[in-house]
A and B are shown apart, each in its own frame.
Chain A
């Protein structure tokens, strides 16, 4: 039904390449999130699906049909814009029924559809108000209502939550996913917010400089990031990465980092040896780093640790209430962040510590290609 496929799509604006040879499949009834930093081409990709921009190269398919030369209105997609694009001079009712007025639909039927959409989104009592009389959240619902009355094959959403305040955004996140399940339609959702991507997407596509870095379900992306970019983009605080040469025999390799070494597990040793890299980028999530006392090796949250970690100095500690982020610096200036519980004393700023790594949870990347090394 509502599948959306991009095949080797490229979009150039003059000399700049906004989208670079992007291939992507959005399955029917899937909630796919396109995420990436600003300027990564995610909005352009969405606009090409909508038909608002034409691809320079490649093919766009909706529901199996090639739509490159199909007018936006005939693509059977509805879009929710970042600024909602409501018509300020029309009431909510007129706004919601606006897409229906170009179709042959009689008055009663139109009224019924509008009322139903308003009901679904809890807008019943606002139908006769103008957009200016509504709050940000209500306007956002009107934009959604206008999209759902068309019963499109796919919803295209361009950062629909970015104009809401933080609290409302969290609540609306859940509601949007719930709405998508209920309607059973395909959603392509663009955001720069990795938390939105992780919490809403059934799959996430991460874009960087117009190219696809990785696509997959959120847990897989978190556990097995395909590149240094994905590793550092998804997760907050981001994954720590450091480059160093590989030493030792196959089966018992060590990575030399500034101030110390990390011994790899036999499994990781085989993986890294298999890649043939003599130097490697090691990645570790902040939650897999412990902050140990420089002398006795006790961890910051009180547990007995080991004294063998990498020496570092504490730059600052961010206490979030439920956890703490200890921001450290290695000898060569590399920043490493450890995420620790709130138990135990706080490591004082500028104090010397040793960072312990959970060696079973290391990620490895090829420094030349920045892609993940897997066994």
Chain B
């Protein structure tokens, strides 16, 4: 039943590549040249933009290595002749950044895993389960996206304080374990799965849990990955909430710790800069590893794959 058309195909393409007309050839060459100029222009622009974005980062690295008295000199130093790597060690130990990073990593991990898990479950329910007021409840979920965190911060603080969760990992993480955004993002992704996949699985004896684990999650990896990265970024960069909840060294996150470092008696600029780099490092590593997932997640709805 397979029709053998390869011979015909190659014959057709042979004809297509035989362009012998000199006028046409010149035209093709002109088009190619124009195309090349376009590429050069585009890359020049991108390079300039990348430079603008990266310059402050570069200056942070430079400043973190300079001796304290050189840093305030004018004009600013663009290339450190003497590099004082011990600033990083100072920030890590005396600035307690090691401790703060540990707290940040633990809290961020709990929030990320929690958000992904609750979002998958909520999105599954909104997509595949039939229950009363499904639409209404989903709209309420969406409505929570419109409420800024600052609005709920006082009641949340009250609750956490009543639970005696001040200065604890759960106090830092629990208010962020569920997100309307995540449920929305994943629901949109689940909706693109053909309904017949679920029906086929049902006929084959797969219940909701197994269908979720074997089919829905593997097929929605780009969206789930993107959500994980967003959750991580959000949790990592939190400032106000950890500042309120944790005044104990033990539970101080890196963002709060960094601010305090810049105001402490270690207030030498290079050490603060070194701390900044240390605090950004986990994020940087994460982005490098997951950049592909992130982009795919962002464009998932735009280009049907």
Q: Pick the contact of B194 from A83, A167, A168, A171 — CB < 8 Å?
A: A83
A151 within 8 A of B: no
Contact A87 B197 (CB under 8 A): yes
**Complex contacts, A50 vs chain B, CB 8 Å:** 199, 203
Q: Which residues of B contact A (CB under 8 A)?
A: 1-3, 194, 196-197, 199-206, 210, 215, 218-219
- Give A103 to B210 CA distance when docked, in angstroms: 13
- Give A211 to B219 CA distance when docked, in angstroms: 39
Contact B1 A81 (CB under 8 A): no
Closest chain B residue to A75, Cβ basis: B203
Closest chain A residue to B1, Cβ basis: A171
Contact B1 A79 (CB under 8 A): no
**Complex contacts, B197 vs chain A, CB 8 Å:** 85, 87
Given A135-B2, A167-B3, A172-B1, CB of A89 within 8 Å of CB of B219: yes
- Give A79 to B196 CA distance when docked, in angstroms: 10
A104 to chain B, nearest CB (A): 11
**Complex contacts, B215 vs chain A, CB 8 Å:** 87, 89
Contact A102 B218 (CB under 8 A): no
B225 to chain A, nearest CB (A): 14
Q: Tell me the dominant secondary structure on chain B's binding face.
A: helix
Q: Give 22 CB contacts A-B under 8 Å.
A: A52-B203, A72-B199, A73-B202, A73-B205, A77-B203, A79-B199, A79-B200, A79-B203, A81-B196, A81-B200, A83-B196, A85-B196, A85-B200, A87-B197, A87-B219, A88-B219, A98-B201, A99-B204, A99-B205, A135-B2, A137-B1, A137-B2
Closest chain B residue to A103, Cβ basis: B205
Q: A79-B203, A81-B200 are in contact. List 8 more A-B contacts (CB 8 A).
A: A72-B203, A81-B199, A83-B194, A87-B219, A89-B218, A102-B210, A172-B1, A175-B1
Interface size on A, residues (CB 8 A): 28
Contact with B along A173-206 (1 / 0, CB 8 A): 0010000000000000000000000000000000
- Give A77 to B199 CA distance when docked, in angstroms: 13
- Give A172 to B2 CA distance when docked, in angstroms: 11
In chain A, positions 59-114 with a C-beta closer than 8 Å to chain B are 72-73, 77-79, 81-83, 85, 87-89, 98-99, 102-103
The total of interchain contacts (Cβ-Cβ below 8 angstroms) comes to 57
Closest chain A residue to B210, Cβ basis: A102
- Give A175 to B1 CA distance when docked, in angstroms: 10
Q: Pick the contact of B202 from A52, A83, A88 — CB < 8 Å?
A: A52
Contact A102 B206 (CB under 8 A): yes
**Complex contacts, B199 vs chain A, CB 8 Å:** 50, 52, 72, 79, 81, 85
Contact with B along A154-173 (1 / 0, CB 8 A): 00000000000001100110
B156 to chain A, nearest CB (A): 39
Contact A102 B202 (CB under 8 A): no
**Complex contacts, A73 vs chain B, CB 8 Å:** 202-206
- Give A73 to B208 CA distance when docked, in angstroms: 13
A43 to chain B, nearest CB (A): 12
Q: Which of B202, B210, B218 has the most CB of A within 10 A?
A: B202
**Complex contacts, A172 vs chain B, CB 8 Å:** 1
Contact A102 B205 (CB under 8 A): yes
Contact with B along A38-64 (1 / 0, CB 8 A): 000000000000111000000000000
- Give A167 to B219 CA distance when docked, in angstroms: 33
Closest chain B residue to A122, Cβ basis: B1
Contact A98 B204 (CB under 8 A): yes
Contact A102 B1 (CB under 8 A): no
**Complex contacts, A85 vs chain B, CB 8 Å:** 194, 196-197, 199-200
Contact A168 B202 (CB under 8 A): no
**Complex contacts, B203 vs chain A, CB 8 Å:** 50-52, 72-73, 77-79, 99
**Complex contacts, A81 vs chain B, CB 8 Å:** 196, 199-200
- Give A125 to B88 CA distance when docked, in angstroms: 58
- Give A252 to B206 CA distance when docked, in angstroms: 67
- Give A150 to B203 CA distance when docked, in angstroms: 11
B194 to chain A, nearest CB (A): 6
